[in-house]
Amino acid sequence: MSMATQNRRAGTIYFKVDGYQYDAKGDFTYNLGNPKREGIIGADGIHGFKETPQLPYIEGKLTDKADLDLDRLTLLDDVTVTLELANGKVITGANMWYAADGNGSTGEAELDVRFEGKTKLEEI
């Protein structure tokens, strides 16, 4: 890790779909898709836990621009999505699809994006 990023934890991010970089805005959230664990509690105490699947996703907001094809964006399927974090990690999802409502706002030219997939995201 370079000296410039040893202590940086948050800030600049890069959001890409099939290698094309979009204008990322604000906070992005993601879920790797590991199973969710929930405790099983009986009348006599804790019995253990159950696991249920979770949907892997990456979501956030983009800034709209003149050459951004909104129709194409909302129909994307079977794409690779990457989120490069300020701390040096890269979150990658393969075979993902666009899953947001397609909402945008004019106040700051924001677009909501969400990509989901069937397979666990990778943390590099």
pLDDT tens, residue by residue, 29-55:
999 999 999 999 999 999 999 999 999
pTM beyond 0.95, yes or no = no
Per-residue pLDDT at 122: 97
Per-residue pLDDT at 1: 40
Residue 112 burial class via C-beta count within 10 angstroms: exposed 0-12, middle 13-18, buried 19 and up = middle
DSSP string spanning 57-103?
Answer: EEEEEEE--TT--HHHHHT--SEEEEEE-TTS-EEEEEEEEE-S---
Quote the CA–CA distance of 113 and 103 in Å, as a whole number: 8
